[in-house]
Amino acid sequence: MRLAKYLAHCGVASRRRADELIAAGRITVAGELVTDPARDVDESSGVAIGGRPVRPEPREVWMLNKPAGVVSTAREPGRRRAVVDLVDSPRRLYPVGRLDADSTGLILLTNDGELANRLTHPRYEIERTYRVRLRHPATESQLRLLRRGVELEDGPTAPARVRSTSARVVELTIAEGRNRQVRRMVEAVRNQVIALTRIRFGPLALGSLPEGKSRRLRPPEVRRLWKDADR
């Protein structure tokens, strides 16, 4: 197995982050510094990071209903809680993608770096659905613009699926994961997000999971995630 893939498989980091760790000279194989992510390794190769052996651990995937004020990082150097603090697992879990601190709702955490990479890489087009409360009632013109795609500072967005559930609440589905994308899309059509909750990630719905609570995904749910990520 390629070294970068092995690190992701062991839950050290996503594939992209694993490449960065290798390039930075953080990884050794049998005591030798290795900077080639394509180096072929297995469990007997003596892979280590910072001198600490890296071995596969049981894979876990968790769903969390993130409250406002909690940050989507593995660790938070400041005073705010991080999403990993709300999941009762001994594994080294990492969030799959991000929700900004002010946003709430469904976020996944896992120690399966390969799955995390698949779910966040743009080529796999995994859809996310957000419930958005707006400052002003959405006009038909604004909804049409969102459905067509809007121009942002970092380029045009792909068309979104948009469903209005009340005058000031819409459900918006996108398959991109740019920074604060939904908020910026709404601002681009001259409205403003008051509250934002992710209610679906790929095939998984938030459902009735209480805010601040988490649950481990069942094997059929993990298989459904992989099925979406293998398209």
Which is nearest to 96 in space by CA: 64, 120, 75? 120
Domain extents in the chain? 3-53, 61-121+213-229, 127-201
Which pLDDT score is estimated for 32? Answer: 94
Identify whether 40 is a catalytic site residue. no
How does DSSP classify residue 11? Answer: T
Catalytic residue among 100, 102, 112, 228: 100
61-121+213-229: what CATH class? alpha beta
Neighbouring-strand partners of residue 128: 174, 201
Judge if 3-53 and 127-201 fold alike in CATH terms. no
Which pLDDT score is estimated for 117? Answer: 87
User: What superfamily in CATH does domain 127-201 come from?
Assistant: Alpha-L RNA-binding motif (3.30.70.1560)
Cα 155 to Cα 122, 146, 158, 184, 185: the distances in Å are 14, 14, 10, 12, 11
Check: pTM over 0.85? Answer yes or no: no
CA angle, 155 then 160 then 162, to 5°: 145
Amino acid at 119: L
How does DSSP classify residue 82? Answer: B
For the chain, 231 residues long, the average pLDDT of each consecutive 10-residue run is: 87 83 94 93 92 89 97 74 93 90 96 88 92 98 97 96 97 94 97 98 96 97 90 63
- Whole-angstrom distance, CA of residue 75 vs CA of residue 140: 42
Rounded to whole angstroms, the maximal C-alpha distance in the chain is 63
Which pLDDT score is estimated for 109? Answer: 96
Which pLDDT score is estimated for 75? Answer: 66
CATH of segment(s) 3-53: 3.10.290.10
